[in-house]
């Protein structure tokens, strides 16, 4: 039986928001395909007519395009989050401050996705995006300072 290791448990805690953010990406991906499939079926569009680059986006209403735009967005700033999370874990630097910041990042990413996939009120979406970046940049700069000043 494995011995309980509090340090190991604290390190693993960073994967809660890590996997939650990945799950968000999967949920948005499923939602995007539901919206696209529904649009294509209800408008009786021949799927072969959508072969041209950006053709579906050109003819689709915002309710169909917004989830796709959000999915693309989930492969931008969150990529830094994933890389940083793995760096912190591998180097054994995860602490409660990092975990809290990671959860704040994830919660605001979820709220940003909900906003973009639904009402898409730009000013609200902008602030949700900004508020998600603040804890991520805090994590990044804290890790960089630790790296540069401990070397």
Taking only the tens place, the pLDDT of each residue in 33-46 is 999 889 888 888 87
What pTM, to 2 d.p., does this model score?
0.89
Average pLDDT, the chain: 91
Q: d(Cα 98, Cα 137) in Å, to the nearest integer?
A: 11
The residue with greater pLDDT, 61 or 55, is 61
Please, which residues have CB within 8 angstroms of residue 16's CB and are 6 or more apart in sequence? Answer: 99, 102, 103
Structure tokens at 6: 């509090």
Four-way CATH pick for 6-150: 3.30.1060.10, 1.25.40.420, 1.20.120.550, 3.10.105.10? 1.20.120.550
What does the pLDDT read at residue 1?
Answer: 44
Give CA–CA dist 96/11, Å, rounded.
9
What's the CA gap between 64 and 104, in Å, rounded? 28
Of the pLDDT bands very low, low, confident and very high (cuts 50, 70, 90), residue 58 is confident
Q: Where are the domains of the chain?
A: 6-150
């Amino acid at each position: 039986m494995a011995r309980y290791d509090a340090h190991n448990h604290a390190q693993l805690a960073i994967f809660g928001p890590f996997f939650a953010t990945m799950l968000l990406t999967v949920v948005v991906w499923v939602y995007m395909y539901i919206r696209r499939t529904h649009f294509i079926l209800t408008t009786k569009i021949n799927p072969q007519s959508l072969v041209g680059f950006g053709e579906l986006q050109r003819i689709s209403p915002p309710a169909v395009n917004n989830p796709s735009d959000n999915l693309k967005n989930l492969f931008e700033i969150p990529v830094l989050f994933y890389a940083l999370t793995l760096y912190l874990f591998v180097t054994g630097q995860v602490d409660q401050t990092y975990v809290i910041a990671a959860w704040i990042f994830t919660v605001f990413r979820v709220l940003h996705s909900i906003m973009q996939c639904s009402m898409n009120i730009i000013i609200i979406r902008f602030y949700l995006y900004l508020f998600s970046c603040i804890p991520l940049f805090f994590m990044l700069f804290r890790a960089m300072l630790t790296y540069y000043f401990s070397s």
